[in-house]
Amino acid sequence: MTKKATTMAENTLPSVAKPPDRNGEVKPSIYMDNHATTPVDPRVLEEMLPYFSEKFGNAASHSHSFGWVAEEAVETARRRTAKLIGARPEEIVFTSGATESDNLAIKGVAEMYRGKGNHIITAVSEHRGVLDTCRRLEKQGFRITYLPVGKDGLIDLAELCSMIGRGTILVTIMAANNETGVLQPIEEIGRLCRERGVLFHSDATQAVGKMPIHVRSHSLDLLSISAHKLYGPKGVGALFVGHTDAPVEIAPIIDGGGHERGMRSGTLNVPGIVGLGKACALAGEEMPQESCRLAGLRNRLRDKILSRLEGVSINGSMEHRLPGNLNLSFAAIEGESLLMGIPEIALSSGAACNATSPEPSYVLRALGIGDDLAQSSIRFGLGRFNTEAEVDYVAGRVIETVARMRQLSAT
Ligand SMILES: *Cc1c(COP(=O)(O)O)cnc(C)c1O
């Protein structure tokens, strides 16, 4: 861990003794927005590079070694991806990312099981990849139940249970929320769905590689993964499509050459898939130590800020939360303005990432947080390359900036 920390730290860590130059345009030099995306781990990049150059073959070319080399690399990546979630290689379908995986899972089940029913259950705090897909299906005559979440961000299992009816074909609930880091009880949800004979999909984009996910013990039928949230490249992901007694059947949304067993046509993104595989292998190896390290850093950040500032609230359950996530609201402070006061730190505010309308986050609103506090929220997303020195620097800058902003508005 020290080795990679130094590789990245060389260009990203501003020494605490020498604060970044704050004249003129400031480039963020501390990256703490790892729920939006993560940097590609240098070890992942290294493994990908040959597949852009000498090993450029098409994995579907069966008549020469260029194709065989590419195909072998894809199958290695498939095994590695499957292993991280306790699946079998043949249950992995490579896609362009989690948005596509969510679309494929939900639309694919909707089309395939329409004869059985037209009801799908999800939750209000899901990612847009799930919510907007459900909205589209609604226009096509499907009935969608959007479960509410409590102040802690969790769905109510009894409520989920009561919503499952004869026409219910799918429950789609995320494993970890991308804003609050809140973990849904996917094991219990899976058990419930299995008992009631309903398929269970989980958008596990934020959870995979950060916490143990096991598709069998969590009774998952479908699960979405994205490489760029776990130190792999952008534009590649996977959908787990379970095959226990019978295969889960999904209709493709992209038709063509019949790649990925007909579920996702199109020439495979070999370098990207190699990167996803390597990222999964690394995440699996390092997860136990890394999740402890991240939880330690996250708690350090929280304790420093809470001990020095009044009027700070934690959004969502602290107990059921990803180790690297902290989502705070600072009373009487606008999140966007706070971020402008600390331009050398890359963080995200609770206003939707939609530049034209600074709407408060629908995820925070779903927790019953008022617009004011939702507007005053900041998401800290700690990742593999963050260090304790960075945490201390960020805590110091947040404390000092919030205190100054409050003083200014009081006078
Ligand atoms: C980032 C994210 C997605 C989208 O993944 P892409 O690979 O960028 O399409 C979907 N769901 C969640 C929970 C995410 O955090």
The percent of residues above 90 in pLDDT, for the chain, comes to 88
Residue 146 confidence (pLDDT) above 50: yes
Each residue's pLDDT tens digit, 223-257: 999 999 999 999 999 999 999 888 999 999 999 99
pTM of the model: 0.92
Cα–Cα distance, 215 to 354 (Å, whole number): 34
C-alpha 226 – ligand 1 centre gap (Å): 6
pLDDT at 24 over 90: no
Is residue 1 over pLDDT 50? no
Residue 136, classified by CB atoms within 10 Å of its CB into exposed (0-12), middle (13-18) or buried (19+), is middle
Residue 156, number of CB atoms within 10 A of its CB: 12
Task: Report the distance separating Cα 249 and Cα 58, nearest Å.
Answer: 27
Closest-CA residue, ligand 1 atom 7, reads 97
CA of 174, closest atom in ligand 1: 13
Ligand 1 centre distance from Cα of residue 16 (Å): 33
Structure confidence at residue 353 (pLDDT): 53
Compute, in angstroms, the gap from residue 205 CA to the centroid of ligand 1: 6
Burial of 50 (0-12, 13-18, 19+ CB in 10 A): middle
- Ligand 1 center from residue 94 Cα (angstroms): 15
At residue 75, the pLDDT reads 98
Question: What average pLDDT score do residues 134-156 get?
Answer: 97
How high is the pLDDT of residue 360? 87
Q: Which residues line ligand 1 (CB under 6 A)?
A: 97-99, 127, 129, 174, 178, 203, 205-206, 226, 228-229, 237
Average model confidence (pLDDT) across the chain: 92
Domains of the chain: 3-40+287-410 (3.90.1150.10), 43-282 (3.40.640.10)
What SS3 class is residue 83? helix
Q: Is 353 a catalytic residue?
A: yes
For a ligand 1 pocket test, name from 205, 230, 269, 276 the mutation site with the most ligand atoms within 8 angstroms of its C-beta: 205
Q: What residue owns the CA closest to ligand 1's atom 14?
A: 205
The catalytic residue among 134, 161, 292, 353 is: 353
Which residue's alpha carbon is nearest to atom 9 within ligand 1?
99
Pocket test for ligand 1, best of 226, 325, 379 (most atoms within 8 A of CB): 226
Judged against a pLDDT cut of 70, whether residue 217 lies above it is answered with yes
Q: Whose CA is nearest to atom 15 of ligand 1?
A: 178
Comparing C-alpha atoms, which of 302, 372, 379, 381 is closest to residue 334?
372
- What are the pLDDT digits (tens) for 313-368? 999 999 999 999 999 999 999 999 999 999 999 999 976 555 555 688 999 999 99
Reply yes or no on whether the pLDDT at 2 is more than 60.
no
Strands 143-147, 199-203: pairing kind: unpaired
Contact criterion met (CB below 8 Å) for 129 and 106 = no
